[in-house]
A = this chain, B = another copy of it.
């Protein structure tokens, strides 16, 4: 096999690239994009041929992804794509609600930096503009997803806890599309969520940790409810 090319000198601030790390990223995206069937067995040799590397970096990537909960591993019996039942996803939302609540409380207690505030305020404004429309296109919904992520990420950052951030990432990283986790929100739902964001941010600015936590918990719990509602609608069609 050809030797690994030297990293270019001119790139100023690049991520370190080892095969193992980039393969980990590739596989993670594939799994989260639902490109593997839930429960599907993952064969090292397959992947190593597909990705044109030896089994070594593949094995390391699989170990990492198993640690992240994306794969199940049984010694001598390989890896399987982890299956998430509806109940698993509901549990993940409950966990996320508890953790996001804590993050919001900490953000309120510790205060948000100027940059963090700027990000949230810009996102709130953008959301305002977007939700003025009388109907949301698919692209609009996508756009709101980005806004939503910006707000939550800023609050996570303000929580100033690496462990908390790590766990939040894990609780959100649950193969979403594989279970059509994309909840069909009504426009009114989105507006309500956006209003939640406003209130949560206000509570944080007021340094009211208790209120920020309560609001955030309910905010996330309500997504869980929507999920349950949309599922029960699917199961009992009208």
Query: What chain B residues lie within 8 Å of A166 (beta carbons)?
Result: 69
- Place the interface of chain A in its size category: 20 to 34
List the 7 closest pairs (A to B, CB-CB), nearest first.
A67-B67, A16-B75, A98-B98, A91-B161, A63-B63, A18-B75, A98-B102
Q: Is A47 an interface residue (CB 8 A)?
A: no
Query: What chain B residues lie within 8 Å of A53 (beta carbons)?
Result: none
> Scoring A residues 56 to 74 as 1 if CB is less than 8 Å from chain B, else 0, what string do you get?
0001100110111100001
Q: Is A92 an interface residue (CB 8 A)?
A: yes
How many angstroms from the CA of A35 to the CA of B21 in the assembled complex?
29
Query: What chain B residues lie within 8 Å of A170 (beta carbons)?
Result: 163, 167
- In the complex formed, the residue of B with least CB distance to A77 is B16
How many angstroms from the CA of A197 to the CA of B60 in the assembled complex?
42
How many angstroms from the CA of A155 to the CA of B119 in the assembled complex?
40
Query: What chain B residues lie within 8 Å of A68 (beta carbons)?
Result: 67
Q: Is A164 an interface residue (CB 8 A)?
A: yes
How many angstroms from the CA of A67 to the CA of B106 in the assembled complex?
25
How many angstroms from the CA of A69 to the CA of B75 in the assembled complex?
21
- In the complex formed, the residue of B with least CB distance to A61 is B63
Whether B164 and A95, one on each chain, are in contact in the complex, defined by CB atoms closer than 8 angstroms, is yes
Query: What chain B residues lie within 8 Å of A21 (beta carbons)?
Result: 75
Given A18-B75, A74-B16, A76-B18: A163 and B64 within 8 A (CB)? no
How many angstroms from the CA of A148 to the CA of B92 in the assembled complex?
26
